[in-house]
Amino acid sequence: MNKATYTKEVPEDRVQLLEVIVRESLKGPLKVMIVGGTDSGKTTLLTFLANELLKDGIRVAVVDSDVGQKSILPPATVSLGIPDGPFSSLSEVKPLAHYFIGTTTPAEYAGETAVGVKRLVDIGMKHADVVLIDTTGFVTGIGAEMKRLKAELVKPDLTVLMGKEGELDGLAARLYPYTSVVSLSVSEQARIHSREERREIRRRKWEEYFKGSGIVEVDLRKLAPTGTAMFQGRPLSDDEVGIFSEVFGWVVFAGWKGEGYVVVKADRGDFRIPKRSSLHAVDFEKLSNLLVGFIGPSGLCLGVGILKWLRFGDMRAEVLTPLDEGILENAVELRFGRIRVLETGEELGLLRREEL
């Protein structure tokens, strides 16, 4: 299941990079971000560096921000792990903290991803001499902008770019103002994984995370529902609900009036809302099996769950999660994600940010 494992058979430039990191870490805690396209060998490099540093008695923290192909569970979050000794795969490293992103494709969540990485790097710096940051393979277009945002916020002492000759020059130019950049070759051993292989890797990770989960009932008057336009403003009156049902031909489950109207509905007709309308309609079916995050008082994520049922009448949600009572009692928010997934790991679909 793990693509990247510890190997000492790495190109010579990795050994030189290690020497630089060891030397620089003697001057104070060091932040190193690893960036490159998909399957360029980022996680393999991180695993090599972490193990070699640990062997030298240097304390290491890992921030895994590859939301689509996480090594440290759960998926769809950014996670901080502190390895207490050598490891063969990053997935063995126990997590210390998470930040909820809520989707496996972070393009619309660049802000959350950058903030999550920054917060976890700050925590990692208190525990380690070197913080290693793994990132998604999304390095062109918006992906490049996301890397810039991360670099601007986190200010890594060093960013390692892994790409073929000239491939990441444009990205390097964006990063230079905020971090030192070194370029590494792509290992000849690096192997491309197909979409199907990636999906299967993700499937197994979801399945592993949700193994042994149970349903918990969440009182949304105690845990604030966030990450969505729903639940803001005053609830609609019965008359208003009646008007929406009649005019649009919807079954209306709930609605709120703030600056505009937000309505949760199921379609009976095929009425389309004009763009730029102040009415925001949420499809009830998109809420089933939606990924949600349990958020603690400091804004960090305690773990994730799958929304199985939402009862607007008494503001209760049924959520499947592996988290136990002791952890859940620290939650103050239930944050809505943008991927629908089953506990078997089957992904049912991604939602656009604006859909909820």
- Using CB under 5 A, list all residues that contact Mg ion: 42-43
Q: Which is nearer to Mg ion, 43 or 104 (CB)?
A: 43
Minimum CB separation of residue 85 from ligand ATP in Å reads 21
CA distance 149 to 308: 35
Q: Which is nearer to Mg ion, 43 or 65 (CB)?
A: 43
Q: Which is nearer to ligand ATP, 69 or 179 (CB)?
A: 69
Question: Which residues, at least 6 apart from 334, have a Cβ–Cβ distance to it below 8 Å?
Answer: 218, 220, 223, 224, 225, 226, 292, 293, 294, 295, 317, 319
Minimum CB separation of residue 171 from ligand ATP in Å reads 14
Which listed option, ligand ATP, Mg ion, none, makes contact with residue 44 (CB within 5 to 8 Å by class)? ligand ATP
Minimum CB separation of residue 42 from Mg ion in Å reads 5
Is residue 304 within 8 Å of 77, Cβ to Cβ? yes
Which run of H or of E encompasses 120? helix 110-127
| Residues at the contact surface with ligand ATP, assessed by CB under 6 A | 3-4, 7, 9-10, 36, 38-44, 66, 69, 137, 187, 189-191
CA distance 42 to 139: 12
State CA 21 to chain mean position distance. Answer: 27
Q: Which is nearer to Mg ion, 58 or 162 (CB)?
A: 162
Is residue 25 within 8 Å of 125, Cβ to Cβ? no
Minimum CB separation of residue 137 from ligand ATP in Å reads 3
Phi, psi of 226 (to 5 degrees): -130, 180
Which listed option, Mg ion, ligand ATP, none, makes contact with residue 298 (CB within 5 to 8 Å by class)? none
Minimum CB separation of residue 146 from ligand ATP in Å reads 14
Which listed option, Mg ion, ligand ATP, none, makes contact with residue 38 (CB within 5 to 8 Å by class)? ligand ATP
Q: Is 159 exposed, middle or buried (0-12, 13-18, 19+ CB in 10 A)?
A: buried
